[in-house]
A = this chain, B = another copy of it.
Amino acid sequence: MKSIQSLRGLVQHLQIHKTCKTVAVACGQDANTIQALARAVEDGFANVRLFGNEMVINKVCDDFEISHSVFSITPCKTDEEAMKQALSTVRNNESDILMKGLINTDLFLKSVLDKEFGLMKPKTVLSYVCAIELPDYPRLLFVTDPAVILQPDLAQKKAMVEYAVKMAQKFGIKKPKVALISATEKPGEGLPHTFDYSHLCTMARRSQIKDCIIDGPLDIFTACDPNAAAIKGIQTEVNGDADILLFPNIESCNAFYKGLMLFGKGELAGILQGTEKPVVMMSRSESELSKYYCLALACLMTENN
Interface size on A, residues (CB 8 A): 44
A150 beta carbon closer than 8 Å to chain B: yes
Decide if B228 touches A285 in the complex (CB within 8 Å).
yes
- Shortest Cβ gap from A87 to chain B (Å): 24
Decide if A221 touches B258 in the complex (CB within 8 Å).
yes
Task: Knowing A150-B190, A191-B150, A262-B224 are in contact, say whether A250-B285 is a contact too (CB < 8 A).
Answer: no
**Which residues of chain B are within 8 angstroms of A259 by Cβ–Cβ distance?**
220, 256, 259-260, 264
| Contact for A262 among B193, B221, B284, CB less than 8 A | B221
**Which residues, 125 to 143 on A, are CB-close (under 8 Å) to B?**
134-137
A101 beta carbon closer than 8 Å to chain B: no
**Which residues of chain B are within 8 angstroms of A193 by Cβ–Cβ distance?**
251
**Which residues of chain B are within 8 angstroms of A198 by Cβ–Cβ distance?**
none
Decide if B252 touches A219 in the complex (CB within 8 Å).
no
Decide if A147 touches B255 in the complex (CB within 8 Å).
no
**Which residues of chain B are within 8 angstroms of A247 by Cβ–Cβ distance?**
251, 255
A118 beta carbon closer than 8 Å to chain B: no
A85 beta carbon closer than 8 Å to chain B: no
**Which residues of chain B are within 8 angstroms of A228 by Cβ–Cβ distance?**
285
Please state the number of chain copies in the assembly: 2
Decide if B260 touches A263 in the complex (CB within 8 Å).
yes
Task: Knowing A183-B146, A285-B232 are in contact, say whether A225-B262 is a contact too (CB < 8 A).
Answer: yes
**Which residues, 230 to 253 on A, are CB-close (under 8 Å) to B?**
231-232, 247-253
- Residue from A147, A182, A220 having most chain B Cβ neighbours under 10 A: A220
Decide if B231 touches A285 in the complex (CB within 8 Å).
yes
| Contact for A255 among B135, B181, B284, CB less than 8 A | B181
- Shortest Cβ gap from A172 to chain B (Å): 23
| Contact for A284 among B136, B231, B252, B258, CB less than 8 A | B231
Q: Residues 133-164 of chain A: 1 if any B CB is under 8 Å from the residue's CB, otherwise 0?
A: 01111000000001100100000000000000
- Residue from A219, A251, A258, A266 having most chain B Cβ neighbours under 10 A: A251
**Which residues of chain B are within 8 angstroms of A221 by Cβ–Cβ distance?**
258, 261-262, 285
Task: Knowing A191-B150, A250-B183 are in contact, say whether A255-B258 is a contact too (CB < 8 A).
Answer: no
On A, residues with C-beta under 8 Å from B are 134-137, 146-147, 150, 181-183, 190-191, 193, 219-221, 224-225, 227-228, 231-232, 247-256, 258-266, 283-285
Known: A221-B258, A221-B261. 9 other contacts (CB 8 A): A147-B183, A182-B251, A221-B262, A232-B284, A249-B252, A251-B251, A253-B255, A255-B255, A263-B264
